[in-house]
Amino acid sequence: MARTATVNYHVHKKTRQAFELDAGGIAGNLISPKLAPTEVRLSDVRRAARPVRFAEDAVEFATMPSAVSTFSGDGWQEVYDAELSALLTGRLGAREVVIFDHTVRVDDPEATRKPARNVHSDYSAAGAHQRLVDLLGVEKAAAWSDGHYAFVNVWRPVDAPINSAPLGFVRPSSVDPADWILLDLIYPDRKGQIMGLAGNPGHDWLYQSKMTPDEVAFFNIYDNRGLPSIAHSALDMVEDPGITTIRKSIESRTLVRY
């Protein structure tokens, strides 16, 4: 049975729009462009007639227990990075993996990093190229650009199964190119570009219900050989009203070379 959730789509405007992160030098202080809350129908991939595959859908779900149980303090990152590298080399055939960011998000008003509740993808083409240069330097970035590279995110629940605000995805084949909106992303020390998604009743939303800390979603953000970027967002919905655990997750950003 299809479920419903509320998502926040972006809105087309004549002028360029932007997010300002850590505005005023305050961690977690976010200034957002206008968003349009919209109810959408969801397909649960646990009950899907056909499996969701990275090569066709730009997202895939996997069971991948981790030796890391607490993503705080020191000592966990080396172990977890090795696990992520093994996942991406094994599942995607990547021959080199650079893991450059981990973000723990907690669905709490007091949290510094909360779930992202806007339908988006993390980079525009220009933003991806600039991030490649930022990470590798001009010379090495040029060498990678001559081949096949991509930015791939890996998302995992932390501490407890996800009961509220799960991560949802829009199947790329259901997105009209005109739905995408270029947005600036302004940090205190740098500027990037992301892509927001405007609403379209043809969008095919999917998610995996009640994901556990032993499960991950890995999904394509940018691929220089044309695999579509996938729009995603936290979904405003609750699986079981009798459960009160807070949604906590870790999202890891990676650069892969095929």
pLDDT digits (tens, 9 = 90+) for 185-219: 888 887 888 999 999 999 999 999 999 999 999 99
**φ, ψ at 82 (rounded to 5°):** -65, -40
CA distances from 56 to 66, 88, 118, 165, 209 (A): 26, 16, 24, 25, 21
- Count CB neighbours of 118 within 10 A: 21
User: Which helix (H) or strand (E) segment is 87 a member of?
Assistant: helix 77-92
pTM, entire model: 0.94
- Residue 16: the pLDDT is 92
pLDDT at 1: 55
The answer to whether 18 and 185 have CB atoms below 8 angstroms apart is yes
pLDDT > 70? residue 238: yes
User: E strands along 187-247, which residues?
Assistant: 191-197, 205-207, 215-223, 231-234
What's the half-sphere exposure (Cβ side, CA atoms, 13 Å) at 222? Answer: 23
Rounded to an integer, what distance in angstroms lies between the CA atom of residue 234 and that of residue 113?
13
How many Å apart are CA 107 and CA 63, to the nearest integer?
A: 23
Residue with the bigger pLDDT between 190 and 83: it is: 83
As a whole number of angstroms, the distance between CA 37 and CA 20 comes to 20
Give the domains, in start order, of the chain with CATH numbers: 3-257 (2.60.120)
> Terminal CA-to-CA distance of the chain, rounded, Å?
38
The token pair that represents 208 in the structure block: 């995996």
Q: Could you read off the pLDDT of 15-64 as tens digits, one per residue? A: 999 888 787 787 778 788 999 999 999 999 999 888 899 999 999 999 99
